Structure 1
Amino acid sequence: MDGTLLDSMHIWREIGPRMLQARGITPAPDLGERLKPMTARQGAAYCKEAYGLPETVDAVYAQIEDQVKRFYENEVEAKPGVKKLLSLLKMEGVWMYVATATDRHLAEKALQHAGIRDCFRGLVTSAETGAGKDVSPEIYERAMRRLRSNKKDTVIFEDALHAIRTAKTAGFRVAAIYDPSAEEDQEEIRALADYYFRSFEELFEAKSLE
C-alpha cells in the first residue's frame, strides 16, 4: 500500500526521527531505513529499546499512531495513475487485495481517503499474519488464498526491495513500482522484478503484463 498505491512513504521515514528529535534525541542517520520494513508497533518497540525511551511500547506506539492517523485521514493521496488502473481492472473483473505492513484500522482510513478502498475485495496486514514482508511471504500467500488464485495467475505490485525479494523467493510474479524512498535500491529492484515501472502512467503503455 504505502509507496505502491499511496504517496505516503515520507510519513514513515520521518515519523521516527521526528519523535526522537522532539525529545532532544539525535536519531541515527539510517533510522528511517531500519524502520521501513517494520509495523508501527515494531517500530515503537525498536525506538524504545534502541534509544532508551522511558514510556511503554504502547505509549510510543500511540504517539506514532496519532500522527499517521491524522495524515491518512486528511492528507494521503493515491499515486498518479492508480485510480485509473484500479478502475479498469475492477471493470475487467480482476480481483484485487491489499497486503500491507500498516495496521488495519490505519490502512482502511488511508484507502478510504485516497478514494480506492472499493476497488479491493479486502486487505491483510503483517500484524495479522504475525510476520513482516522482510521475513515471510505469508501475507502474499494469505491474500492469494482469499482471492482464490494461484501463483501463475497472481501479480504482486511492490515498491520495496525487501518485499520484492520475499515475494520472488516464494515464487510470485512481481511488478515493481518506483518510489523515491527506494531510490538507492532501483538497480537491484530492476534485476529482481518481472516487470518494472517508473509510474502507473508508464504501466498503461506496457503490453507485457499478460
Structure 2
Amino acid sequence: MGVWTEIDRRFFDRRRIEMPADYAHTVSSMQTAAIARYTIERFGLDEEPGDLVDEWDDDAQLLYATVVKPKPHALDYLEALRASGARLAVATSLPPRLRKVALEHAGMTECFDHVCSVDDADSVGKGEPAVYLHAARMLGVEPRRCTVFEDLLVAVGSARRAGMKVWAMYDDSSASDWERIAEQADGAIRDFAQAPAVL
C-alpha cells in the first residue's frame, strides 16, 4: 500500500494540489477507474479518467518493479505453507501487469496456486467479499476453511463477511486504522514470524 502513497504524492505534486488527509483512505478500496472518476469530480480536473489511470499505471509499474518488498518473514512463511500442502492465492485490487511485476520483484512468482483481482471477480473493490469468494473457488476450498491476511480496514470486514478467518497484517499506510483493523480480525501481526503455524 505504501506504493500508492507515493503515487498519490507524485500525482498531486504535478498538479500543485495539496492532497487532502482523507483522500488515500477514501479511495483505498476502489478500483482504479472509479478512483479516476472520483478524483476528477472532487478536484474539478479537466482530464479524462483514462489519462489519470495511464499516469498512475506508469508510476505504479516503476515502483512495483523496484520498491515493493515482502513483509518480514513472508517468504519463509509462504515456503512453510507450501511445504504443508496448503493451497495459496492472492486476492488483490491490482491489475495483472502490476501484480506480475510486484510478485516478481518480491520473489513470490512461484509461491501461489492462483492470483486474482477484483476485476476477475466482477467486483467494484475490496469493500465487498466477491474477490475473496472468487479466490476460494479458484483454490477449490470452502470459504470457512480459508484464512486471509489483510492490511486494509474495509477489506478485513469483507473477508469476514465472506465467512473466512482474517488475520490483520500491519502496514504503515493503514496505521491510523490499525486498532480497528486488529479488533475486527481473528488475530493481528506485524511480522509473518508471528503468523499461525496451522491455518
Which TM class, normalised by the smaller chain length? over 0.9
- Once residues 188 and 109 of structure 2 are traced to their aligned partners in structure 1, the CA distance between those partners, rounded to angstroms, is 24
Q: In structure 1, the residue corresponding to 2:62 is in which secondary structure?
A: helix
Letter in 2 for 1:126: V
Does the Cα contact within 8 Å between 2:150 and 2:169 map onto a contact in 1?
yes
- Give 2:45's match in structure 1, choosing from 46, 53, 78: 53
Answer yes or no: is 1:133 the counterpart of 2:133. no
Alignment of 1:42 with 2:27, yes or no, is: no
Deviation at 1:39, TM superposition (A): 2.4
User: Unpaired runs of 5+ in structure 2?
Assistant: none
TM-score normalised per structure 2: 0.92
Do residues 184 (structure 1) and 186 (structure 2) align? no
State the aligned residue count: 198
Q: Could you say which residue in structure 2 is the equivalent of 1:4?
A: none
Q: CA deviation at 1:68?
A: 0.4
1:116-141 C-alpha deviation (Å, 9 max, x unpaired): 0211012111122232111x211010
Which ranges in structure 1 are unaligned for 5 or more consecutive residues? 1-8
CA displacement, residues 157-179 of structure 1 (integer Å, 9 cap, x when unaligned): 11111000111123211111111
TM-score (norm 1): 0.88
What is the aligned partner in structure 1 of residue 160 from structure 2? 168
User: What CA distance in whole angstroms lies between the structure 2 residues aligned with 1:92 and 1:66?
Assistant: 38
CA root-mean-square deviation: 1.6
- Give 1:194 shift: 1.1
Report matched runs for 1:191-210 at 5 Å: 191-203=183-195, 206=196, 209-210=198-199
Alpha-carbon shift at residue 17 of structure 1 (Å): 3.8
Residue 88 (str. 1) matches residue 80 (str. 2):
yes
Equivalent pairs: percent with the same residue?
Answer: 31
Matched, 1:112 2:104: yes
2:55 matched residue in structure 1: 63
